[in-house]
Structure 1
C-alpha cells in the first residue's frame, strides 16, 4: 500500500477536541472584542450567526456526508462538534451543488460579520486574519492529510489510500520507507516518523514563530527602537548561534548532506558548527533552556504595558507549543530531545532499520 506518510485518523480523542475548539475560539474571541467596544447586543447577534452556521447550516449540508458523522451513534464524535446530537439523517456520498453553495453562503456571514468593527482597529483586524490563516493552515497540514471525510473539498488523503481504506485493508505492521517518512507499528497502530523536512515545513513553522515574535517586537518598538534592535539581536543570536551550537548539532536533521541546514526551523542557514551525533548532555540542555527563557521573558516589561499584545503573545506561544508537541514531537527522529514523544519500541525499530540500510549501502 502506498501511504501518505501519516496514518488515517479513525476517531478523535478528547485532546483533539480541546485543541481544535480552543484554536477555533481564538478568531471568534477577537471578533467579539472588536464588536463589544461598540455594542454587546451585536456580540449576541454574532454569536447567534456562528451557532446557526455550525449547528444548522454546516451540520445539515456538510457534516451529514462526513464519515465521522455517519459512523457516530446518537451524538456526533468529531474533533469540532463532539457531543452534539445527530439531528439530521446521514447522507453518504458526495455533496450536491446546492449543498456546497449553502455551506459557502452560510460561512460568509460568520467570517465577515465582525469586519465592520474590526476595520476600526487595524491591530484586531490583523490578529483576526492571522488567527484564521493559522487555523486553516494547521488543519490542512496535519488533519486534512489523514481525515476520513473524503467528501470534504479540503481533504488531502491520496486516492490510493482512500481506496485501500474503503476496501477495509490496514497498513502493514512492518517498517517500510514511504516517500520521505518511515512507517512502523506500535501497539497495533501505525506511527510515521519524519525522516526529513521540506521547505514548506520551514515556511509554516517560521510563519507561526513570526506571529509571536511580531507581537513582542511591536510592543517593544512602540516604546523604544533601541531595545527593539537589542531584542532582534538576542533572537538572532539564540536561534542561529547558541541553539545551533548546544542543541541543533546533536540533531539528526542537522547532520544531513550539504553545507546548509534543511530543517523546519532553520532552512538555508550555514552550519557554523560540526555535527555531534550523540544525545546532548546536561550542560547543553541547560544552556539551550536559559537561552529560550531569555528570549521569551525579555519582552515582558513592554508587553505588560500593552494588554492586547501580551494576550496575543501568550496565545501564540501556547499554540506553538501545543502544535509542535501534538504533531511534530510524536514523529521526530531527534530522540535526544527532552520533548521527543516517539515510543521506545518505535525508536528501536527505526534505529534497527537505519543500521540495516547503512550495512546494505556499504
Structure 2
C-alpha cells in the first residue's frame, strides 16, 4: 500500500519519556567505561567524569548545541532529549557550524570515547560491551530520531531536503510535513512517525543486532560452564522463534500474510513460511503457547548468568533496551493490531482500515 498523504509532524519538542529513554541509553557506555577504569583507580574515574561533563556542558553546548533549533527555542533552560534542564550559558547561534566548531566538537567527542579504552583493553569482555553499547546508541538515534529531528545542522540529520526547505520557509514549528515511502502517514503524534506497512532488510539488520547482543551474553554465560547446554539453549531459541512463534503468533500477523514464500519481517527475514497464514485475531491458546515459549527462552540461562554478574547485568540491560525500544518506536506504528503490545490508537487504526478498503476497491475497479 502506498502512503496516504496524511501529514507527518517533525518532532518539535521532547517529552520526559524521551529524556529518560535516551539518558538511560547514553549512560550505559559511560557506566561500562567507569567500571573498567575503577578496577585500577577511582581517581581516574573522577577525571573521566570531569572530561565527560566538560565535553557535554561546555564544548558540545558552545560549539554544537547553540546552532540547534531545540536549544534556540528553549527559554532559560535547555529542553532536549539529552541535556534537559541545563541552563543556557551560551547565546544562540542560528545557522551552520564553522569548520573550527566542527573540529572542536569531534575532538571533544573522541576524547570522551577513547579515554577509557586504555583500561578496557585489559578486559576484552568489557571492551566489547563498551563498543557495542556505543554502536547501539548511535544506530538507535540514527534510525529513530535523526529522521524527524529539527536540528538540521547536525551532520547525522536525515530529514529529507524538501521537508527542511518547507520547515525553514514556513518558519512555524508546529507545521506538519509529508514524507514518502513504505509508510502510512499519521498526524498528531510526536512519539511515532507513521504506521509501517512494509519492513526493509535494514530493519531486520538493526533488530537482529539488538537480539544478538541479548542472546550472546546468555550463550557466553552458559558456554563458560558447558558446551552441551549451549547447544540445548540454541535449539530452544531456534525452535521457539522459527517454529512455535511462527506457527502460533506470526501466522496472524499482516507482515507474515503479505510475505510470499519467505518471511519479510524486522525480526525474521528470509526464513521459509512453513505455516499458512491465519489473518484473524490471536486465540487464547496461541497467546499462551507464545508466552510460555518466550518465558522458557528468557529464563533458561538465568542459573548460569547468576554465576557471572557482569554477563547477568548485560543480559538484563539488553532485555530492557530491546523491550523499551520496540515498545517506544515500533509498537506504536505496527499494523499487527491483534498483538497484545500494539499501541496504535483507535483513530489511526480506523484511518488505516479506510485507506486499505479504498485501495482494495480501486484494485477491483481496475480489474
- Under a length normalisation based on structure 1, what TM-score does the superposition of the two structures give? 0.96
Say if 1:188 and 1:67 are closer, same or farther in 2 by CA, change over 3 A. closer
Please give the alpha-carbon distance, in whole angstroms, between the structure 2 residues aligned to 1:209 and 1:189: 23
Please point out which of 168, 171, 184 is paired with 2:176: 171
Please give the alpha-carbon distance, in whole angstroms, between the structure 2 residues aligned to 1:189 and 1:289: 27
Please give the alpha-carbon distance, in whole angstroms, between the structure 2 residues aligned to 1:297 and 1:2: 43
- Under a length normalisation based on structure 2, what TM-score does the superposition of the two structures give? 0.94
Aligned counterpart, 1:215: 217
Deviation at 1:179, TM superposition (A): 1.6
Deviation at 1:187, TM superposition (A): 7.6
C-alpha contact (below 8 Å) 2:70/2:78 kept by paired residues:
yes
Deviates more, 1:190-199 or 1:317-326: 190-199
1:281 is aligned to 2:286 = no
Deviation at 1:8, TM superposition (A): 1.2
RCO (CA 8 Å, sep 6+): is it higher in 1 or 2? Answer: 2
Please give the alpha-carbon distance, in whole angstroms, between the structure 1 residues aligned to 2:181 and 2:164: 17
CA deviations over 1:114-167 (Å, ceiling 9, x no partner): 001000100000000000000000000000000000000000000001111123
Aligned counterpart, 2:152: 150
Aligned residue for 1:235, secondary structure, equals: helix
CA RMSD of aligned residues (A): 2.0
Deviation at 1:20, TM superposition (A): 0.3
Aligned counterpart, 1:236: 238
Say if 1:187 and 1:94 are closer, same or farther in 2 by CA, change over 3 A. closer
Please give the alpha-carbon distance, in whole angstroms, between the structure 1 residues aligned to 2:287 and 2:197: 23
C-alpha contact (below 8 Å) 2:192/2:333 kept by paired residues:
no
Deviates more, 1:73-82 or 1:351-360: 351-360
Please give the alpha-carbon distance, in whole angstroms, between the structure 1 residues aligned to 2:352 and 2:251: 20
C-alpha contact (below 8 Å) 1:2/1:160 kept by paired residues:
no
C-alpha contact (below 8 Å) 2:4/2:185 kept by paired residues:
no
C-alpha contact (below 8 Å) 2:263/2:273 kept by paired residues:
yes
Name structure 2 gaps, 5 residues minimum: none
C-alpha contact (below 8 Å) 2:36/2:120 kept by paired residues:
yes
Please give the alpha-carbon distance, in whole angstroms, between the structure 2 residues aligned to 1:207 and 1:340: 22
Aligned counterpart, 2:88: 86
Aligned residue for 2:187, secondary structure, equals: strand
Aligned counterpart, 1:131: 133
Please give the alpha-carbon distance, in whole angstroms, between the structure 2 residues aligned to 1:81 and 1:154: 18
Please give the alpha-carbon distance, in whole angstroms, between the structure 1 residues aligned to 2:31 and 2:49: 10
Please point out which of 103, 114, 139 is paired with 1:112: 114
Aligned counterpart, 2:341: 339
Name structure 1 gaps, 5 residues minimum: none
Aligned counterpart, 1:57: 59
Aligned counterpart, 1:260: 262
Deviation at 1:183, TM superposition (A): 1.1
CA deviations over 1:80-126 (Å, ceiling 9, x no partner): 00000000000000000000011011111111110010001000000
Aligned residue for 2:194, secondary structure, equals: strand
C-alpha contact (below 8 Å) 2:247/2:275 kept by paired residues:
yes
Please give the alpha-carbon distance, in whole angstroms, between the structure 2 residues aligned to 1:163 and 1:259: 42
CA deviations over 1:183-221 (Å, ceiling 9, x no partner): 133589985100000000000000000000000000000
Deviation at 1:338, TM superposition (A): 0.4
Please show how residues 295-334 of structure 1 align to structure 2 within 5 Å.
295-334=297-336
Aligned residues: 359
Aligned counterpart, 1:185: 187
C-alpha contact (below 8 Å) 2:71/2:78 kept by paired residues:
yes
Please give the alpha-carbon distance, in whole angstroms, between the structure 2 residues aligned to 1:60 and 1:191: 30
